[in-house]
Protein backbone atom coordinates (compact mmCIF):
# COMPACT_ATOMS: atom_id res chain seq x y z
CA UNK A 1 0.00 0.00 0.00
CA UNK A 2 1.45 3.36 -1.01
CA UNK A 3 0.71 6.57 0.89
CA UNK A 4 -0.80 9.66 -0.65
CA UNK A 5 1.82 12.40 -0.34
CA UNK A 6 0.72 16.01 0.02
CA UNK A 7 2.99 19.04 0.16
CA UNK A 8 1.57 21.95 2.12
CA UNK A 9 3.24 25.38 1.79
CA UNK A 10 4.21 26.99 5.09
CA UNK A 11 6.66 29.84 4.75
CA UNK A 12 8.36 31.87 2.04
CA UNK A 13 11.85 32.87 3.18
CA UNK A 14 13.75 36.06 2.31
CA UNK A 15 16.22 33.96 0.31
CA UNK A 16 13.38 32.89 -1.96
CA UNK A 17 13.32 29.37 -0.55
CA UNK A 18 10.06 27.90 0.60
CA UNK A 19 9.29 25.64 3.54
CA UNK A 20 6.60 22.97 3.36
CA UNK A 21 4.92 20.31 5.45
CA UNK A 22 5.08 16.88 3.86
CA UNK A 23 2.06 14.74 4.78
CA UNK A 24 1.89 10.98 4.19
CA UNK A 25 -1.58 9.41 4.32
CA UNK A 26 -2.19 5.66 4.43
CA UNK A 27 -5.87 4.95 3.87
CA UNK A 28 -7.52 1.57 4.36
CA UNK A 29 -11.06 0.53 5.06
CA UNK A 30 -13.48 2.66 7.05
CA UNK A 31 -12.23 3.22 10.58
CA UNK A 32 -10.48 5.59 12.92
CA UNK A 33 -7.93 8.24 12.10
CA UNK A 34 -4.48 8.24 13.69
CA UNK A 35 -2.22 11.27 13.36
CA UNK A 36 1.54 10.93 14.06
CA UNK A 37 4.13 13.71 13.89
CA UNK A 38 7.74 14.32 14.87
CA UNK A 39 10.36 17.10 15.02
CA UNK A 40 8.08 19.71 16.59
CA UNK A 41 11.19 20.58 18.59
CA UNK A 42 13.74 20.84 15.83
CA UNK A 43 16.66 19.15 17.61
CA UNK A 44 14.66 16.06 18.58
CA UNK A 45 15.35 13.71 15.74
CA UNK A 46 14.51 10.18 16.94
CA UNK A 47 10.84 10.45 15.95
CA UNK A 48 11.86 11.06 12.37
CA UNK A 49 13.58 7.65 12.22
CA UNK A 50 10.60 6.08 14.00
CA UNK A 51 8.14 7.45 11.43
CA UNK A 52 10.42 6.29 8.61
CA UNK A 53 10.31 2.70 9.90
CA UNK A 54 6.57 2.81 10.68
CA UNK A 55 5.96 3.98 7.11
CA UNK A 56 8.04 1.10 5.74
CA UNK A 57 5.88 -1.29 7.77
CA UNK A 58 2.60 0.32 6.71
CA UNK A 59 3.80 0.27 3.10
CA UNK A 60 4.03 -3.53 3.19
CA UNK A 61 0.40 -3.91 4.27
CA UNK A 62 -2.52 -4.47 1.92
CA UNK A 63 -5.38 -1.91 2.14
CA UNK A 64 -7.59 -4.68 3.59
CA UNK A 65 -5.25 -4.91 6.61
CA UNK A 66 -5.71 -1.27 7.59
CA UNK A 67 -8.92 -0.22 9.32
CA UNK A 68 -8.96 3.54 9.10
CA UNK A 69 -6.30 6.08 8.20
CA UNK A 70 -2.81 6.82 9.44
CA UNK A 71 -1.52 10.33 8.73
CA UNK A 72 2.17 10.99 9.31
CA UNK A 73 4.14 14.25 9.28
CA UNK A 74 7.82 13.39 9.90
CA UNK A 75 9.07 16.99 9.81
CA UNK A 76 6.20 18.90 11.37
CA UNK A 77 8.28 22.02 12.11
CA UNK A 78 10.68 22.81 9.27
CA UNK A 79 11.69 26.15 10.82
CA UNK A 80 12.77 24.43 14.06
CA UNK A 81 14.49 21.57 12.23
CA UNK A 82 16.64 23.98 10.22
CA UNK A 83 17.84 25.89 13.30
CA UNK A 84 21.49 25.08 13.90
CA UNK A 85 24.35 26.73 15.72
CA UNK A 86 27.50 24.82 14.82
CA UNK A 87 26.58 21.20 15.77
CA UNK A 88 23.96 22.27 18.29
CA UNK A 89 20.29 22.82 17.60
CA UNK A 90 18.34 25.49 19.48
CA UNK A 91 15.21 24.21 17.68
CA UNK A 92 13.12 24.03 20.85
CA UNK A 93 12.29 27.75 20.72
CA UNK A 94 11.06 30.02 17.97
CA UNK A 95 14.03 32.33 17.20
CA UNK A 96 11.65 35.22 16.37
CA UNK A 97 9.69 35.41 19.64
CA UNK A 98 11.44 32.98 21.98
CA UNK A 99 8.31 30.82 22.44
CA UNK A 100 8.61 27.09 23.05
CA UNK A 101 7.31 25.51 19.83
CA UNK A 102 5.28 23.06 21.92
CA UNK A 103 3.40 25.68 23.95
CA UNK A 104 1.74 27.59 21.11
CA UNK A 105 -1.32 25.53 20.24
CA UNK A 106 -4.95 26.57 20.20
CA UNK A 107 -7.50 24.70 22.22
CA UNK A 108 -11.28 24.79 22.31
CA UNK A 109 -12.24 26.08 25.74
CA UNK A 110 -15.97 26.54 26.30
CA UNK A 111 -16.99 28.20 29.57
CA UNK A 112 -18.27 25.93 32.41
CA UNK A 113 -21.80 27.19 31.70
CA UNK A 114 -21.53 26.35 28.01
CA UNK A 115 -20.24 22.87 28.85
CA UNK A 116 -23.13 22.18 31.23
CA UNK A 117 -25.63 23.46 28.65
CA UNK A 118 -24.10 21.19 25.99
CA UNK A 119 -24.03 18.18 28.34
CA UNK A 120 -27.67 18.72 29.31
CA UNK A 121 -28.67 18.89 25.66
CA UNK A 122 -27.08 15.44 25.19
CA UNK A 123 -28.65 13.62 28.13
CA UNK A 124 -30.49 11.12 25.97
CA UNK A 125 -27.69 10.69 23.43
CA UNK A 126 -25.31 7.75 23.04
CA UNK A 127 -21.57 8.22 23.60
CA UNK A 128 -20.91 8.07 19.85
CA UNK A 129 -23.56 10.73 19.14
CA UNK A 130 -22.21 13.04 21.84
CA UNK A 131 -18.71 12.61 20.40
CA UNK A 132 -19.93 13.51 16.93
CA UNK A 133 -21.85 16.59 18.13
CA UNK A 134 -18.98 17.86 20.26
CA UNK A 135 -16.49 17.34 17.45
CA UNK A 136 -18.72 19.49 15.27
CA UNK A 137 -18.61 22.27 17.88
CA UNK A 138 -14.82 22.09 18.01
CA UNK A 139 -14.67 22.18 14.22
CA UNK A 140 -16.92 25.27 14.05
CA UNK A 141 -14.77 27.12 16.62
CA UNK A 142 -11.64 26.18 14.66
CA UNK A 143 -13.17 27.40 11.39
CA UNK A 144 -13.99 30.69 13.09
CA UNK A 145 -10.32 30.94 14.08
CA UNK A 146 -9.36 30.29 10.45
CA UNK A 147 -11.65 33.06 9.20
CA UNK A 148 -10.05 35.52 11.62
CA UNK A 149 -6.59 34.49 10.45
CA UNK A 150 -7.46 34.99 6.81
CA UNK A 151 -9.18 38.34 7.26
CA UNK A 152 -6.77 40.01 9.69
CA UNK A 153 -3.60 41.76 8.63
CA UNK A 154 -0.32 41.21 10.46
CA UNK A 155 -0.92 37.67 11.69
CA UNK A 156 2.33 36.24 13.10
CA UNK A 157 3.81 33.13 11.51
CA UNK A 158 3.28 31.12 14.71
CA UNK A 159 -0.50 31.53 14.48
CA UNK A 160 -0.65 30.57 10.82
CA UNK A 161 1.67 27.64 11.43
CA UNK A 162 -0.26 26.19 14.37
CA UNK A 163 -3.54 26.56 12.50
CA UNK A 164 -2.12 24.61 9.57
CA UNK A 165 -0.68 21.85 11.73
CA UNK A 166 -3.78 21.47 13.91
CA UNK A 167 -6.03 21.38 10.87
CA UNK A 168 -4.41 18.02 10.02
CA UNK A 169 -5.39 16.36 13.30
CA UNK A 170 -8.58 18.13 14.39
CA UNK A 171 -10.76 15.19 13.30
CA UNK A 172 -8.33 12.48 14.43
CA UNK A 173 -9.23 9.89 17.05
CA UNK A 174 -5.68 9.28 18.24
CA UNK A 175 -2.77 11.75 18.16
CA UNK A 176 0.87 10.76 18.72
CA UNK A 177 3.57 13.43 19.05
CA UNK A 178 7.18 12.16 19.05
CA UNK A 179 9.85 13.96 21.08
CA UNK A 180 13.16 13.36 22.84
CA UNK A 181 14.84 15.10 25.71
CA UNK A 182 16.71 18.26 24.70
CA UNK A 183 19.67 16.78 26.56
CA UNK A 184 20.11 13.14 27.68
CA UNK A 185 16.90 11.24 28.37
CA UNK A 186 15.19 7.88 28.63
CA UNK A 187 12.21 6.40 26.82
CA UNK A 188 8.76 7.00 28.30
CA UNK A 189 5.41 8.51 27.39
CA UNK A 190 3.06 11.17 28.69
CA UNK A 191 -0.62 10.25 28.93
CA UNK A 192 -3.89 11.77 30.09
CA UNK A 193 -6.45 10.86 32.71
CA UNK A 194 -8.22 7.51 32.35
CA UNK A 195 -6.05 6.25 29.46
CA UNK A 196 -3.82 3.82 31.41
CA UNK A 197 -4.85 0.68 29.51
CA UNK A 198 -4.07 2.27 26.14
CA UNK A 199 -0.81 3.76 27.49
CA UNK A 200 0.41 0.22 28.24
CA UNK A 201 -0.01 -0.67 24.55
CA UNK A 202 3.15 1.33 23.78
CA UNK A 203 5.18 -1.25 25.75
CA UNK A 204 7.37 1.38 27.39
CA UNK A 205 8.59 0.97 30.95
CA UNK A 206 7.19 4.24 32.26
CA UNK A 207 4.11 6.37 31.59
CA UNK A 208 3.69 9.79 33.18
CA UNK A 209 0.21 11.23 33.72
CA UNK A 210 -0.04 14.84 32.59
CA UNK A 211 -1.93 16.05 35.65
CA UNK A 212 0.15 19.20 35.80
CA UNK A 213 -0.28 20.85 32.42
CA UNK A 214 1.34 24.12 31.51
CA UNK A 215 -0.81 24.94 28.53
CA UNK A 216 -0.53 25.04 24.77
CA UNK A 217 1.21 21.68 24.21
CA UNK A 218 0.16 19.81 21.07
CA UNK A 219 -1.24 16.72 22.82
CA UNK A 220 -2.95 18.79 25.49
CA UNK A 221 -4.56 21.18 22.99
CA UNK A 222 -6.07 18.19 21.20
CA UNK A 223 -7.50 16.28 24.16
CA UNK A 224 -8.26 19.00 26.72
CA UNK A 225 -11.79 19.84 25.46
CA UNK A 226 -12.70 16.15 25.64
CA UNK A 227 -11.37 15.76 29.18
CA UNK A 228 -13.33 18.87 30.22
CA UNK A 229 -16.55 17.40 28.83
CA UNK A 230 -15.90 14.02 30.50
CA UNK A 231 -15.43 15.84 33.80
CA UNK A 232 -18.62 17.85 33.27
CA UNK A 233 -20.65 14.70 32.62
CA UNK A 234 -19.04 13.11 35.70
CA UNK A 235 -20.21 16.00 37.89
CA UNK A 236 -23.70 15.51 36.46
CA UNK A 237 -23.61 11.85 37.50
CA UNK A 238 -22.90 10.23 34.13
CA UNK A 239 -19.51 8.57 33.94
CA UNK A 240 -18.23 8.30 30.37
CA UNK A 241 -14.98 8.32 28.44
CA UNK A 242 -14.61 9.26 24.80
CA UNK A 243 -12.54 7.12 22.44
CA UNK A 244 -10.12 10.02 21.98
CA UNK A 245 -6.46 9.73 22.92
CA UNK A 246 -3.34 11.91 22.76
CA UNK A 247 0.21 10.84 23.51
CA UNK A 248 3.66 12.32 23.67
CA UNK A 249 6.47 9.78 23.39
CA UNK A 250 9.89 10.79 24.70
CA UNK A 251 12.53 8.74 22.93
CA UNK A 252 15.99 9.28 24.29
CA UNK A 253 18.49 12.03 23.69
CA UNK A 254 18.30 15.16 21.55
CA UNK A 255 20.26 15.41 18.27
CA UNK A 256 20.73 11.63 18.26
CA UNK A 257 19.09 8.55 16.76
CA UNK A 258 19.82 6.13 19.59
CA UNK A 259 19.05 2.66 18.18
CA UNK A 260 17.30 1.43 21.36
CA UNK A 261 15.10 4.52 21.59
CA UNK A 262 14.15 4.35 17.91
CA UNK A 263 13.38 0.64 18.28
CA UNK A 264 11.24 1.31 21.37
CA UNK A 265 9.29 3.98 19.50
CA UNK A 266 8.69 1.79 16.44
CA UNK A 267 7.70 -1.23 18.52
CA UNK A 268 5.34 0.89 20.64
CA UNK A 269 3.54 2.55 17.75
CA UNK A 270 3.18 -0.70 15.81
CA UNK A 271 1.77 -2.45 18.87
CA UNK A 272 -0.59 0.46 19.62
CA UNK A 273 -1.96 0.39 16.06
CA UNK A 274 -2.45 -3.38 16.25
CA UNK A 275 -4.02 -3.38 19.71
CA UNK A 276 -6.37 -0.57 18.75
CA UNK A 277 -7.52 -2.59 15.76
CA UNK A 278 -6.20 -0.10 13.19
CA UNK A 279 -3.83 -2.70 11.74
CA UNK A 280 -5.21 -6.23 11.50
CA UNK A 281 -2.32 -8.08 13.09
CA UNK A 282 -1.94 -9.58 16.53
CA UNK A 283 -0.27 -7.18 18.95
CA UNK A 284 1.37 -7.85 22.27
CA UNK A 285 -0.28 -7.36 25.62
CA UNK A 286 0.88 -7.84 29.17
CA UNK A 287 3.26 -4.90 29.27
CA UNK A 288 4.59 -3.98 32.67
CA UNK A 289 4.35 -0.23 32.31
CA UNK A 290 4.82 1.70 35.53
CA UNK A 291 2.55 4.70 36.01
CA UNK A 292 3.56 7.96 37.64
CA UNK A 293 2.17 11.47 37.60
CA UNK A 294 3.89 14.65 36.51
CA UNK A 295 3.28 16.16 39.94
CA UNK A 296 5.53 13.45 41.36
CA UNK A 297 8.47 14.43 39.16
CA UNK A 298 11.25 16.17 40.99
CA UNK A 299 13.62 18.61 39.37
CA UNK A 300 17.14 18.88 40.64
CA UNK A 301 19.16 22.05 40.40
CA UNK A 302 22.86 22.39 41.08
CA UNK A 303 23.47 24.76 44.00
CA UNK A 304 26.45 26.20 42.17
CA UNK A 305 28.34 25.89 38.90
CA UNK A 306 30.99 23.24 38.51
CA UNK A 307 31.65 19.77 37.16
CA UNK A 308 29.55 16.65 37.73
CA UNK A 309 31.28 13.29 37.80
CA UNK A 310 29.46 10.03 38.33
CA UNK A 311 30.55 7.93 41.27
CA UNK A 312 28.68 4.77 40.28
CA UNK A 313 29.44 2.52 37.30
CA UNK A 314 27.05 2.89 34.39
CA UNK A 315 24.19 0.41 34.32
CA UNK A 316 22.59 -0.75 31.10
CA UNK A 317 19.05 0.54 30.72
CA UNK A 318 19.24 3.17 33.47
CA UNK A 319 17.44 6.36 32.49
CA UNK A 320 19.59 9.33 31.59
CA UNK A 321 22.97 7.69 32.12
CA UNK A 322 25.90 7.67 29.77
CA UNK A 323 28.83 5.26 29.95
CA UNK A 324 32.02 6.87 31.09
CA UNK A 325 35.31 5.47 29.80
CA UNK A 326 36.56 5.19 33.37
CA UNK A 327 34.04 5.64 36.20
CA UNK A 328 36.88 6.13 38.67
CA UNK A 329 37.90 9.46 37.12
ZN1 LIG B 1 10.25 18.03 22.57
Evaluate whether residue 51 is within a structural domain: yes
Using the mean position of ligand 1's atoms as its centre, give its distance from the Cα of residue 184 in Å.
12
pTM (two decimals): 0.92
Using the mean position of ligand 1's atoms as its centre, give its distance from the Cα of residue 227 in Å.
23
| Cα 219 to Cα 190: distance, rounded to the nearest angstrom | 9
Based on the structure, what is the number of domains in the chain?
1
pLDDT, tens digit, 9 for 90 and up, residues 259-295:
999 999 999 999 999 999 999 988 787 678 999 999 9
Using the mean position of ligand 1's atoms as its centre, give its distance from the Cα of residue 153 in Å.
31
Evaluate whether residue 318 is within a structural domain: no
Using the mean position of ligand 1's atoms as its centre, give its distance from the Cα of residue 217 in Å.
10
- Which region, left, alpha or beta, applies to residue 252 given φ > 0 means left and ψ of -120 to 50 means alpha? left
More confident residue, 169 or 318: 169
Evaluate whether residue 52 is within a structural domain: yes
Residue 326's pLDDT is what? 41
Can you point out the beta strands (E) in 13-66?
18-27, 29-38
pLDDT at position 255 over 80? yes
pLDDT at position 325 over 70? no
Using the mean position of ligand 1's atoms as its centre, give its distance from the Cα of residue 182 in Å.
7
Evaluate whether residue 304 is within a structural domain: no
Q: Which domain holds residue 61?
A: 4-296
Using the mean position of ligand 1's atoms as its centre, give its distance from the Cα of residue 41 in Å.
5
- Once rounded to an integer, what is the mean pLDDT over residues 123-147? 96
Percentage of the chain modeled with pLDDT above 70: 94
- Once rounded to an integer, what is the mean pLDDT over residues 182-194? 93
Using the mean position of ligand 1's atoms as its centre, give its distance from the Cα of residue 43 in Å.
8
Evaluate whether residue 208 is within a structural domain: yes
- Once rounded to an integer, what is the mean pLDDT over residues 144-163? 92
Evaluate whether residue 314 is within a structural domain: no
- Once rounded to an integer, what is the mean pLDDT over residues 212-238? 93
Evaluate whether residue 313 is within a structural domain: no
User: Domain containing 179 — which CATH number?
Assistant: 3.40.630.10
Residue 329's pLDDT is what? 35
Per mean pLDDT, which range of 35-49, 121-135, 218-232, 289-303 is the poorest? 289-303
CA-angle at 194, arms to 191 and 196, nearest 5°: 60
pLDDT at position 229 over 90? yes
Strand, helix or coil at 166? helix
Using the mean position of ligand 1's atoms as its centre, give its distance from the Cα of residue 187 in Å.
13
| Cα 254 to Cα 167: distance, rounded to the nearest angstrom | 27
Residue 286's pLDDT is what? 66
Evaluate whether residue 264 is within a structural domain: yes
Percentage of the chain modeled with pLDDT above 90: 79
Using the mean position of ligand 1's atoms as its centre, give its distance from the Cα of residue 64 in Å.
35
Amino acid sequence: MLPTITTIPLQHLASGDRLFLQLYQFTGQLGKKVYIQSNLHGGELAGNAVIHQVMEWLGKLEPEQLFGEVWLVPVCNPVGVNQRSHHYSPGRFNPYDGENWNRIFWTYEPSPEELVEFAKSCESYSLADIQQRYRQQIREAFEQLGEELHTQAGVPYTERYRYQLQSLCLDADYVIDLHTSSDQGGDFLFYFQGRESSAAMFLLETAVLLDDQDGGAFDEAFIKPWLALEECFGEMGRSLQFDIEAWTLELGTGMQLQPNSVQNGVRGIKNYLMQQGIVAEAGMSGATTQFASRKQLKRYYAPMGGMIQRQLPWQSGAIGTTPLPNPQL
